[in-house]
Structure 1
Amino acid sequence: MAAAGLLVLMPLAALLVIAAEGDAEIWPHLIANVLPASTVDTLALLLGIAVLAGSMGITTAWLVTAHRFPGRNILVWLLPLPLAVPTYITAYIYVELFDSAGLVQMALRDLVGWKSRSEYWFPQIRSLPGCILVMSAVLYPYIYIAARAMFLTQSASMMEVARTLGASRLKLFRIIALPLARPALAVGLSLALLEALNDIGASEYLGVRTLTVSVYTTWLNRGSLAGAAQIACVMLAFVVGLILIERYGRRNRRYALSPKRHRIVQPVPLTGARAWVASALCATPVLLGFVLPTGFLLRETLRGGLFDQFDADFMAHFMTTIGLSVAATAAVLMLAILLVSAARIAKTSMTKGALFVAGLGYAVPGTVLALGLMTPLVGIDNAIGTLWRTLTGERIGLVLMGAAGGIVIAYVIRFLSIATGSLSAGLDRVSPSLEDAARTLGSSRREMVWRIQIPLMRPALASAALLIFVDCIKELPATLLLRPLNTETLSTLVYTYASRGRFEDGSLAALVIVLVGLVPVIQLVRSAEARPRVEDAPAT
């Protein structure tokens, strides 16, 4: 238990040490030339995403939950699908489509007869507003899923009382549905903003100099590890701020339904122009976040004959991606089972503390995590090398950093909270009487975990494994910074093509990432939509 907590805290402690040991002259340079612009861009990006992605997620969740309109049944399944598309891939595609040399502007020039860019105005996709649009189109499902889950569980009785008192549908949403969903919205919004803060590919490609991009460029392009660590410490302040905002949004907010009588809100049919407006409002995010990127990737793959890329090199990159993801997923699940089972059996402050610390990893951006892991991993490699040389007289070289072990460790730290949260939620639904009965019959703790808890956690284990596996495949910042030389995954392969101005050549790799990511998203939607609806039950 303590080892799991130390695993998460290790990179953060190392980061603080690197920052403290850095040259004191770096801080004045950072404060004067780097931090002001990066901080302003980061704040503006997060604020813009909070407004746009929040509006998309809340509006669409309410419309598909409270109303019936053309295409609603299909849109319920399509709205979460942008989760399968990484932000950096969407950014690369939008540049290919909407930049001055992109397909849309070229078609406009051919259609209207414009000769140069100076003859007309077109929104710049390589800009802060463009970055906000791109990220919002991909990240809004975090808010949508949280909001829809809350809207589905709200009692119809409260709505009917409000309607009886003369409240309109809009007022019902504003004064009842939205305030009751506030705790879930705080969680969904914080997850979306943490993902935006973690991003490096989209913001860098669209010309937005966020703190994440500054860490990357300061470390690799300017060779200043201490300067990068100091910027990363500023990023940690942003992470803490987002967590505090999320906790503030959920403060003292609890909502429980009566177990005796529970009717959910039944969708009200919309007619005429309102129905088609609702359809358009719900279809637009799907078009921007999923249909457009996936359609472009499929078009480029077919048009360029990129299926011929399925050669030995591509398969090696694919197998590297799968191998790292499988190894990390297995390690995360084993560690999560240990943590959750120990916290369930031995309800001590240490087990609760370890479970809480394990959940902090997801809040740490991949760039910061990679930076913090560098020194500890190199130190461990040196210790292993010294021991091996003492025992055998031979050099062993790098073990973790040289064999992609550092990437797996970064994945484990970053995605451990997904598994612990899923398994805890699954195990909380199990009556403690089963475990009490096992203890009465003389079962040891190991037998209780192996024969009772793990079988009961299988559905949660399966869903957690899918989510972690796909998140590992999509993860770019930590992979980009910790990969050994001459090692490529699908995400770094796409990044390499895009950085060379040849993103279309990486369409096949990007398409594979999206298709693999669809599996857990579809499973998530299926589970949510299959939730039993509790209708009127006789009072007892």
Structure 2
Amino acid sequence: MRTTPRLLSWTALLVAGICLLPMLAVVIAALSGGTDTVAHLASSVLGRYIANTVLLVALVSLGTFAVGVGAAWLVTMTRFPGVKTLEIALVIPLAFPAYVLAYGYTHVLDHPGIVQTTLRAVMGWGPRDYWFPEIRSLGGAAAMLVLVLYPYVYLLARASFLQQSGSTFMAARALGSRPWAAFWRVSLPLARPAIAAGVLLAVMETIADFGTVAYFGVQTFATGIYTSWFSLADRAGAAQLALCLLSFALLLAMLERKQRGRAKYHDPSRGQKEHPPIDLKGWQAVAAMTLCGVPVLFGAVIPVIALLSLGIGSGQDLFSPRYVGFVRNSLMLASLAALLTLVAAIVLGFFQRTQPGRISAAATYVARLGYAVPGGVIAVGLLVPFAAFDNALDAWMRATFDISTGLLITGSIWLLVFAYMVRFLAAALGAYEGGQARVHANMDAASRSLGKGPFATLRRIHLPILTPSLLTALLIVFVDVMKELPATLIMRPFNFDTLAVQAYRLASDERLDGAAVPSLVIVAVGLLPVILICRQVGRR
């Protein structure tokens, strides 16, 4: 009986150590790289990386706040034709990777695209007779990210609005405030913690994005890490850029934790009265339908139409041996990573439940940090120590036994799977802990009184109750891995490509028609967890 808690403790600490390893490795590699690389970066590209990253974060923050909060308020607090459909449809863009939208809108809005071609044909303009916004720009990248990331803010803001009592809002109305004034003065401040958490999630995804900014030619820290690692073969420079990005990500994680811990609201009337919906008529109903329908139109409908029009005439055969290999590799990586991440989440969550204290809390906190660390940083942080280990082992085997072991760990599938686990463990932990709240402590006490150990309690009581939450966590991680690009590009084994890598490679060669096919497959798989989320939204 004593060995079981000890085994659980050591396993949980091992998982936390793996999550901490990339961050420590990045710090050590960056500090040991010398000052020449830092000076070169500071005099050449560092300022541009900082400016572009900060501006991109600011634009995405404002965009996701405006779209997410506005849509959440309209579908929760008002009634207009189509509101029940739109409240679910607003989640659908979450299934799209931002780089997939970038491919679709480049086909539509670029100079040879259908929009500008039609304008020139109708107006009789030449190539230099008019101005049109450049899609391949920082603003275009921000627009793509806003369209796929606003559902984070929408879901959390809507949940917060639903939990608010109608008494506070009605009190503001009784004091003479108009509906929109009551929203700004009462409902929005009460929902601030949830909205801030959603915006920060969108920001984390923004600084981690590589596919969109790389395709649009926007130089950020994410593109700089990849360029330094591969194009320039400058490992120290990549590590130092990764350290800068890691510091920024951890700062955001600390701010999120601080605001979540300090923002506490008490509403004694909560739950006593539901918020009375405001019936919109005439132009107000049309305006609400338009405001809620535009994000769905531009975030899902138009990209799918554009990708389908590209993919139909692309000549790409999904059933060819080559594409079957891409699909097989993607599904294998996603399945392995989802299973490993789910097991790690169960171990950490159960460890914190059975042995609460500073150690278990610290282990869980470290594991959550992975979501704040971009995939490129995790890739560099894992490759540096394991490449050093492989090289040292190979040198020792050559000197001792005249045998070359080569690279045993670096470039392997399992190292890539561990990178996925570090990146997405926080999402699995969140789903697991959300379900664990339904397992009352009395169940654990009853199991102990019947002579059952911790693992038997987990297997026979917790897991059956947690099955829906575990399936949700498994599906979320599976789809996140299918969409993940920077870590896969850096760490994938030789001649081992996925659908995301194939889409990025074809798009980089300006073969958008070919990139549309793997992109559509990724979107189709991504719809699975979104449908699950939509069903939960519909039930609530």
Write the deviation string for residues 356-407 of structure 1: whole angstroms up to 9, x where unpaired: 1110111100011111111222245457768999999865543333432221
Corresponding residue to 2:348 among 331, 339, 348: 339
Corresponding residue to 1:272 among 279, 282, 289: 282
CA distance in 2, matches of 1:186, 1:509: 34
CA distance in 1, matches of 2:307, 2:43: 42
Q: Which residue of 1 aligns with 2:55?
A: 44
Quick one: which amino acid aligns to residue 370 of structure 1? A
1:131 correspondence with 2:131 = no
RMSD: 2.0
Corresponding residue to 1:352 among 361, 379, 396: 361
Q: Which residue of 2 aligns with 1:283?
A: 293
- The CA deviation at 1:528 is 2.5
CA distance in 2, matches of 1:513, 1:229: 30
CA distance in 1, matches of 2:23, 2:132: 44
1:524 correspondence with 2:533 = yes
Q: Which residue of 2 aligns with 1:298?
A: 308
Unaligned stretches of 5+ residues in structure 2:
1-11
Moved more, 395-404 or 308-317: 395-404
Quick one: which amino acid aligns to residue 3 of structure 1? L
Q: Which residue of 1 aligns with 2:497?
A: 488
CA distance in 1, matches of 2:164, 2:271: 12
Corresponding residue to 2:435 among 422, 426, 435: 426
Aligned residues: 529
The answer (yes or no) to whether the contact 2:101–2:144 under 8 Å persists in 1 is yes
Quick one: which amino acid aligns to residue 439 of structure 2? V
CA distance in 2, matches of 1:219, 1:283: 42
Q: Which residue of 1 aligns with 2:216?
A: 206
C-alpha change, 1:76 and 1:23, in structure 2 (3 Å) is same
Question: Secondary structure of the equivalent of 1:487?
Answer: coil
Corresponding residue to 1:182 among 177, 180, 192: 192
- The CA deviation at 1:263 is 2.8
C-alpha change, 1:112 and 1:425, in structure 2 (3 Å) is same
Write the deviation string for residues 134-163 of structure 1: whole angstroms up to 9, x where unpaired: 111111111111101111111112112221
Question: Secondary structure of the equivalent of 1:359?
Answer: helix
The answer (yes or no) to whether the contact 1:182–1:250 under 8 Å persists in 2 is no
1:312 correspondence with 2:321 = yes
- The CA deviation at 1:422 is 1.3
Question: Secondary structure of the equivalent of 1:250?
Answer: helix
- The CA deviation at 1:30 is 1.0
- The CA deviation at 1:102 is 1.8
The answer (yes or no) to whether the contact 1:399–1:405 under 8 Å persists in 2 is no
Q: Which residue of 1 aligns with 2:203?
A: 193
Moved more, 459-468 or 441-450: 441-450
The answer (yes or no) to whether the contact 2:250–2:369 under 8 Å persists in 1 is no
- The CA deviation at 1:440 is 1.3
Q: Which residue of 2 aligns with 1:373?
A: 382
Q: Which residue of 2 aligns with 1:73?
A: 84
CA distance in 2, matches of 1:86, 1:53: 15
CA distance in 1, matches of 2:166, 2:270: 14
CA distance in 2, matches of 1:278, 1:315: 44
Question: Secondary structure of the equivalent of 2:15?
Answer: helix
Corresponding residue to 1:15 among 14, 26, 40: 26
Moved more, 252-261 or 263-272: 252-261
Q: Which residue of 1 aligns with 2:475?
A: 466
Quick one: which amino acid aligns to residue 183 of structure 2? F
CA distance in 2, matches of 1:467, 1:102: 34
Q: Which residue of 2 aligns with 1:534?
A: none
- The CA deviation at 1:265 is 1.7
Q: Which residue of 2 aligns with 1:478?
A: 487
Quick one: which amino acid aligns to residue 178 of structure 1? L
Corresponding residue to 2:180 among 156, 170, 182: 170
1:148 correspondence with 2:158 = yes
The answer (yes or no) to whether the contact 2:351–2:360 under 8 Å persists in 1 is yes
Question: Secondary structure of the equivalent of 1:286?
Answer: helix
CA distance in 1, matches of 2:491, 2:392: 19
Corresponding residue to 2:416 among 383, 386, 407: 407
1:515 correspondence with 2:521 = no
CA distance in 2, matches of 1:171, 1:338: 47
CA distance in 1, matches of 2:400, 2:240: 39
Quick one: which amino acid aligns to residue 235 of structure 1? L
Quick one: which amino acid aligns to residue 325 of structure 1? A
Write the deviation string for residues 158-188 of structure 1: whole angstroms up to 9, x where unpaired: 1122211111110111011111111111111
- The CA deviation at 1:129 is 1.5
C-alpha change, 1:260 and 1:521, in structure 2 (3 Å) is closer
Question: Secondary structure of the equivalent of 1:282?
Answer: helix
Quick one: which amino acid aligns to residue 224 of structure 1? D
Q: Which residue of 1 aligns with 2:16?
A: 5
Q: Which residue of 1 aligns with 2:244?
A: 234
CA distance in 2, matches of 1:56, 1:241: 25
CA distance in 1, matches of 2:214, 2:280: 43
- The CA deviation at 1:274 is 0.9
CA distance in 2, matches of 1:394, 1:527: 57
Q: Which residue of 2 aligns with 1:60?
A: 71
The answer (yes or no) to whether the contact 1:341–1:453 under 8 Å persists in 2 is no
The answer (yes or no) to whether the contact 1:317–1:490 under 8 Å persists in 2 is yes
1:119 correspondence with 2:140 = no
CA distance in 2, matches of 1:231, 1:514: 31
Moved more, 362-371 or 285-294: 285-294
CA distance in 1, matches of 2:122, 2:416: 49
Quick one: which amino acid aligns to residue 406 of structure 1? L
Q: Which residue of 2 aligns with 1:505?
A: 514
Identity %: 38
Unaligned stretches of 5+ residues in structure 1:
532-540
Moved more, 55-64 or 156-165: 156-165
C-alpha change, 1:104 and 1:479, in structure 2 (3 Å) is same
CA distance in 1, matches of 2:450, 2:398: 51
C-alpha change, 1:155 and 1:259, in structure 2 (3 Å) is closer
Quick one: which amino acid aligns to residue 481 of structure 2? C
CA distance in 2, matches of 1:377, 1:365: 19
